[in-house]
Amino acid sequence: MSKNRFVILLTTLLAPISALAQNGIDERIDNAVRPIADTVAGLVFSSFPVAGVQIPFVLVWLIAAATFFTFYFRFINLRAMRHGFHLVRGDYSDPTAAGEVTHFQALATALSGTVGLGNIAGVAIAVSLGGPGATFWMIVAGFLGMSTKFVECTLGVKYRNEYTDGTVSGGPMYYLAKGLAERSDKLRTLGKILAVLFAIFCIGGSFGGGNMFQANQSFKQLVSVTGGDASWLADKGWLFGVVIASLVGLVIIGGIQGIARVTSKIVPFMAIVYVLAGLIIILSNVTAVPAAIGAIISGAFSPEGMAGGVIGVLFQGFRRAAFSNEAGVGSAAIAHSAVRTNRPITEGFVALYEPFVDTVVVCTITALVIIITGTWDPNVDPGQGVALTSAAFESSISWFPWVLTLAVVLFAFSTMISWSYYGLKAWTFLFGESLITDITYKVLFLAFVVVGSSMQLGAVIDFSDAMIFAMAFPNILGLYFLLPVVKRELNTYWAEYRAGSLQKFGKALHRA
Amino acid sequence: MDQKLLVGIDCSNCGQRALDYAVAWARTADVPVVVVHVIEWSPYSFNTPMENEARHKRREAELDRAHSEIVDSVVDRLRDQGIDAKGLVRHGHPAHTLNDLANEAGATNIVVGRTGTSRIKSQLFGSVPSTLVQIADVPVTVVP
């Protein structure tokens, strides 16, 4: 099928959905889904009051695990960072394996699935609702999240499926099913149940947070930068959806890797532009930095006028960090498991850099820009995070919102590509691998792109957010059972590393 | 010290001049020849998860094709002429990989063909021979 015919076919398939969206069917869908969404979201985000603040249980679940893993592995998040860097650099890569997926490539792929709206929109909301002090707790959560990623990604590689043709499939559904069965016969059934639950939530998350939410938010930013409600685009969400869905479709169904390759080249470039612009703003206001850091630290421990005091601030920071780096959700373990290595633990060390780059570096820069420029607003509507960050950058670099819009759309696109893969892996885990199951999932995925950008479906978006966080329940429960496996791998490997008996190659030999 | 030549070829015909030169050298001096083809690849690229999943399979296919379409026939021809020849294919940066392989194989000379790129292009992007001349650990012969 030629590219052109493919686009036409896709457009004709997707156009009716948008036509429906124009005729008020979005409201009907909204009403139909609302009770289910509310129930699921209510369950996942069921909260209990602490010092007058409602704390959702899932957040405690994520942070408790990250803290426990950090202590259990005696601060592996900090002590393995140097070795992780050497692994990413390729010091331990056998040159005869050149051409396979390297540690760097696995990390870069996983990062392009997580860096995005969470760093841009989420941080603005955290600082606005929690004050500057939220930044401190966001950084703490980023460091703790590194330990969770370490555990997930080690297991993702260890229990992946390697097929005879050399392709690999990995992720929580495989380590939950295979890993728990290996622990004991009693855990076999539990492992299967957890794996199936994870796969179901992962599919939900791939349609929601990894798709509709991305389409919706990037469209909003595009509208606001082209003139808000007066924009020609304001009522043409369906058009934006069809365009994005066609592009995504060309990649995931048409197999046109060119588009994905172009995006995967531009996305890191945009991330660097974003970080540099942030640094420029921070440096040009360098006299304001000590005060900003002071506000972050004092705000973290003795916030003034914040609901819930320290607990309230801590909650905002932790919540946005967890939204942003997905540590404990299990999604990244799917991307990391493609690496070529015979030591699974090495990918765990490399994965430490994911929350580090995403949360500790990028989120901190965003937070500093927002605090220094004073653009944070305690009355912000949580749906307007991107607009707030955009305003913060605009106050120093007037044309930056345009760059930011491009960045947001590209980040959204690459996140969709990544999540379509995560969802597909979960889908084939449940329904088996065949051309029909494959295409069914992908067509559904594209339909949700159009739905996400053309409808104001609060209920559907709540539901999909809930699905992403629901993934953390089966995933982390399984991680607790599999900790001894990781500990064993770590002890053997770390002893070899300390003894200097790991083989180094190439330039690393001369450096050593 | 015993001599050993390493010849870099990029496609079956383009490395012809370098190859002819090395063959003449090998026959008169009776030295072994390693025929090398480098598949351009970077360990620091950004890929989609789909590309990563199929990477191992793709790599095998790339190596097979490089052997069957580029390297193996050349090695056979050299052997027919009584030269001790072997073929190698590897992924990587062309110039750096040629040098690494020369070190691994214990080659005493690297022979490559001149690329003939225009002045502006080679100023901007460099070329395999000019990079190789800068970084190589053994003498490099660039055949015009």
Residue A74 lies in a domain: yes
The band of A349, judged by pLDDT with boundaries at 50, 70 and 90, is: very high
**Neighbour-count burial of A209, counting CB atoms closer than 10 A to its CB (0-12 exposed, 13-18 middle, 19+ buried):** buried
Banded model confidence at residue A251, pLDDT cuts 50, 70, 90: confident
Count: domains in chain A: 1
**DSSP letter (8 states) at residue A327:** T
Q: Give me the residue from A90, A104, A260 closest to B48, CB to CB.
A: A260
d(CA A476, CA A488): 19
Q: In the structure, what pLDDT confidence band is assigned to residue A476 with cuts at 50, 70 and 90?
A: very high
Query: Which chain A residues have a beta carbon less than 8 Å from that of B92?
Result: 95, 98-99
| Helix-strand-coil split of chain A, %, nearest 5 | 80, 0, 20
Question: How many of the other CB atoms lie within 10 Å of CB of A170?
Answer: 27
Which pLDDT belongs to residue A420?
93
- The DSSP code for A116 is S
Closest CA to A246 of A31, A34, A67, A10: A10
CATH number at residue A494: 1.20.1740.10
How does pLDDT run across A148-164, given as a tens digit for each residue? Answer: 999 999 999 999 998 88
A94-118 in b/e form (b: 16+ CB < 10 A) is ebebbbbbbbbbbbbbbbbbbbbbb
Identify the burial level of A167 via C-beta atoms within 10 angstroms of its C-beta, where 0-12 means exposed, 13-18 middle and 19 or more buried.
middle
C-alpha to C-alpha distance for A450 and A212, rounded to whole angstroms? 8
Residue A504 covered by a domain: no
Each residue of A2-61: pLDDT tens digit? 556 665 666 666 666 655 555 565 566 667 767 777 787 888 888 888 777 778 888 899
Contact A202, A331 (CB under 8 A): yes
Compare A309 and A490 and report the one with higher pLDDT.
Answer: A490
- Residues of A with CB below 8 A from B39's CB? 99
**Average pLDDT over all residues of chain B:** 86
Could you identify the residue written with the tokens 């750096």? B96
Cα A75 from chain centroid? 23
Q: Which residue is it, tokens 């998860």?
A: B49
Residue B40 touches chain A, beta carbons under 8 Å: no
At A368 the pLDDT is 92
The confidence score (pLDDT) of residue B45 equals 86
Nearest-angstrom CA–CA distance, A192 and A184: 13
What pLDDT does residue A42 have?
82
CB contact A428 to B (< 8 Å): no
Domain count, chain B: 1
Q: Which residues of A318-355 are buried (b: 16+ CB within 10 A; e: fewer)?
A: bbbbbbbbbbbbbbbbbbbbbbbbebbbbbbbbbbbbb
Give the tokens for residue B42.
């970077």
Chain A residue numbers touching B45 (CB-CB < 8 A): 105, 108
SS3 of residue A91 by DSSP: coil
User: In terms of pLDDT, which residue wins out, A180 or A508?
Assistant: A180
CATH number of the domain enclosing B124:
3.40.50.620
* Beta-carbon separation of A264 and B97 below 8 A: no
Answer whether B49 touches A (CB < 8 Å).
yes
Any domain includes A272: yes
Least confident of A182-191, A303-312, B78-87: A303-312
- Cβ contacts below 8 Å, chain A against chain B, sum to 99
Query: A422 contacts in B (CB within 8 Å)?
Result: 49
Query: ipTM, 2 decimals?
Result: 0.88
Cα-based distances in Å from A315 to A55, A121, A134, A383: 7, 17, 8, 18
The secondary structure element, H or E, covering residue A146 is helix A133-158
Contacting residues of B for A93, CB less than 8 Å apart: 43
**Quick one: average pLDDT of A400-414?**
89
- A322 contacts A468 by C-beta, under 8 angstroms: no
* pLDDT at residue B32, as a whole number: 93
Measured CA to CA, the distance from residue B105 to residue B114 in angstroms comes to: 23
Contact B44 A113 (CB under 8 A): no
**Which of A92, A109, A411 should we substitute to test contact with B (largest number of B Cβ atoms within 10 Å)?**
A109
Report which DSSP code applies to A102: P
Domain of residue A363: give its range.
3-499
Q: For residues A138 and A356, is the Cβ–Cβ distance under 8 A? A: no
Can you tell me the mean pLDDT for B82-106?
A: 92
Q: Tokens standing for A189? A: 């059934």
Domain carrying residue B64 = 5-143
